[in-house]
């Protein structure tokens, strides 16, 4: 309880003592990219329509489908439409295809927004648009394809900045001796590689659907790894559930992610992760210390009592003194230092 209380004062909500123990025993940590290692405030940098389609029309179609989504990329589209003073009419018959995108009916047309793989990959995309897509990816941005009645009408280039201090957090985690730190992302390879270089992570998985993240984590667990997974979105829910410890971003994370996770970072501050792991390890050390102290202290007391060195009343006093010392030792964890401040 002392460790959970200390974590709460640092802005970390731990749903049970077992979870902080699992954090202490972890040797592997995987991050989602968008909204976890990045700020989660993406912006639309460029609107690229196909021939015959106006940029405002492309943006209106995308925003109409995305207006009820909680995904960070959807928020960027809505914000861009707001700045452009475009009237948004919410799409009907909305359906989210996890890991790929969302589709709905706009003005009687089927509109789909998301990955190019929503409609079978690059095969149906005009060659001229493919070149622009590749250029956007090389810059590390994320292209959101927009289809109308299964035909590509353009894409939106969306980018996000790496969280301030993310590189230091990764370095601090490495100092704690974790054997593997990686990124599991549904984004394309160039974007994931760019973020990986910026924060100092070399173990990268890109283009993953939720089931793919699940598969990576289970394969690692079968090899004996104790895994922490940190994410914020609906796509992360399966990974958060199957990891030994799931940690969600509490401020901007989705409701599904928060419900599934074992721990929530209420301020979305990933700098709390090294503190949390160190706190868990300190908790285990104090537990072991208290057990060892209690055994030795009581053994000495029993021997002293049996030898007549102390009276029964003195034995009772000594026993209570030992209990007080154990309580004080446990309470000391409440003063554990948070170096992330």
pLDDT score, position 27: 96
Per-residue burial over 292-314, b if 16 or more Cβ lie within 10 Å, else e, is eeeeebeeebeeebeeeebeeee
Q: Which of 271, 279, 324 is nearest to 5 (CA)?
A: 279
For residue 95, list its beta bridge partners: 103
Nearest CA to 196 out of 26, 35, 28, 37 is that of: 37
> Tell me: the pLDDT tens digits for 45-95?
999 998 888 999 999 999 999 888 877 888 899 999 999 998 888 888 888
The whole-angstrom separation of Cα 273 and Cα 269 is: 8
Fold assignment, 43-159: Calcium-transporting ATPase, cytoplasmic domain N (3.40.1110)
Distance CA 79, CA 261 (A): 28
Helical pair 166-175 and 189-199, crossing angle rounded to 10 deg: 70
| Phi then psi dihedrals of residue 298, to 5 deg | -70, -35
Contact 214, 231 (CB under 8 A): no
Query: CB-based burial of residue 109 (10 Å sphere; 0-12 exposed, 13-18 middle, 19+ buried)?
Result: middle
Helix or strand or coil: residue 278? helix
| pLDDT digits (tens), the chain, 341 positions | 788 888 888 889 999 889 999 999 999 999 999 889 998 888 999 999 988 889 999 999 999 998 888 778 888 999 999 999 988 888 888 888 877 888 899 888 899 998 877 776 665 677 778 888 888 888 888 889 999 988 889 999 998 899 999 999 999 999 999 999 999 998 888 899 999 999 999 999 998 988 999 999 999 999 999 999 999 877 888 999 999 999 998 766 667 778 889 999 988 889 999 999 999 999 988 888 888 877 776 777 777 767 777 777 776 666 666 677 767 766 777 767 766 55
What CA–CA distance (Å, rounded) separates 243 from 247? Answer: 9
Instruction: Answer yes or no: are the C-beta atoms of 35 and 291 closer than 8 Å.
Output: no
| Beta-carbon count within 10 A of 97 CB | 14
Give the integer Cα–Cα distance in Å for 332 and 306: 33
Domain ranges of the chain: 2-39+162-276, 43-159, 280-335
Show which residues are catalytic. 32
**Predicted local distance difference test score (pLDDT) of residue 333:** 73
Q: What are phi and psi of 269, to 5 degrees?
A: -100, 100
Query: Distance of alpha carbon 86 from its chain centroid, rounded?
Result: 33
Query: What b/e sequence results for 23-44 when a residue is b if at least 16 CB atoms lie within 10 Å of its CB, and e otherwise?
Result: bbebbbbbbbbbbbbbbbebbb
SS3 24: helix
The CA distance from 299 to 117, in Å, is: 68
Domain boundaries 2-39+162-276, corresponding CATH code: 3.40.50.1000
At residue 35, the pLDDT reads: 87
What is the per-residue pLDDT for 318? 65
What is the token pair recorded at 139?
A: 């810059």
The one-character DSSP state at 117 is: G
2-39+162-276 and 43-159 in the same fold? no
Q: Answer whether 276's CB lies under 8 Å from 12's CB.
A: yes
Q: Residue 192 and residue 59: Cα distance in Å, rounded? A: 25
Least Cα distance to 149 among 132, 128, 124 occurs for 124
Q: What is the pLDDT of residue 120?
A: 65
Q: How far apart are CA 297 and CA 320, in angstroms?
A: 11
């Amino acid at each position: 309880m002392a460790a959970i209380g200390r974590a709460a004062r640092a802005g970390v909500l731990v749903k049970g003592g077992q979870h902080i123990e699992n954090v202490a025993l972890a040797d592997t940590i995987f991050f989602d990219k968008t909204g976890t290692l990045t700020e989660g405030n993406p912006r639309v940098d460029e609107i690229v329509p196909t021939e015959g389609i106006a940029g405002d029309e492309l943006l209106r179609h995308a925003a109409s489908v995305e207006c009820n989504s909680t995904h960070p990329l959807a928020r960027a589209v809505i914000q861009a439409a707001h700045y452009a003073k475009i009237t948004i009419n919410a799409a009907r018959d909305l359906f989210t295809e996890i890991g790929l995108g969302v589709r709905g009916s706009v003005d009687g047309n089927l509109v789909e927004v998301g990955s190019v793989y929503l409609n079978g990959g690059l095969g149906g995309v005009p060659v001229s648009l493919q070149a622009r897509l590749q250029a956007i990816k090389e810059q590390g941005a994320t292209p959101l394809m927009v289809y109308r009645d299964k035909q590509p009408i353009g894409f939106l280039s969306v980018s996000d900045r790496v969280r301030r201090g993310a590189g230091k957090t990764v370095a601090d985690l490495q100092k704690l001796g974790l054997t593997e730190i990686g990124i599991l992302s549904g984004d394309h390879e160039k974007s994931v590689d760019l973020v990986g270089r910026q924060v100092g992570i070399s173990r990268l998985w890109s283009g993953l659907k939720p089931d793919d993240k699940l598969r990576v984590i289970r394969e690692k667990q079968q090899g004996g790894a104790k895994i922490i997974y940190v994410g914020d979105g609906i796509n992360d829910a399966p990974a958060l559930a199957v990891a030994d410890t799931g940690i969600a971003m509490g401020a901007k994370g989705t409701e599904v992610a928060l419900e599934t996770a074992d721990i929530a970072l209420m301020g979305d501050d990933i700098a709390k992760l090294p503190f949390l792991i160190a706190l868990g390890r300190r908790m285990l050390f104090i537990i072991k210390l208290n057990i060892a102290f209690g055994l030795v202290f009581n053994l000495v007391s029993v021997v002293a009592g049996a030898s007549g060195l102390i009276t029964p009343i003195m034995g009772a006093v000594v026993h209570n003194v030992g209990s007080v010392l154990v309580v004080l030792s446990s309470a000391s964890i409440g003063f554990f230092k948070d170096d992330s401040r």
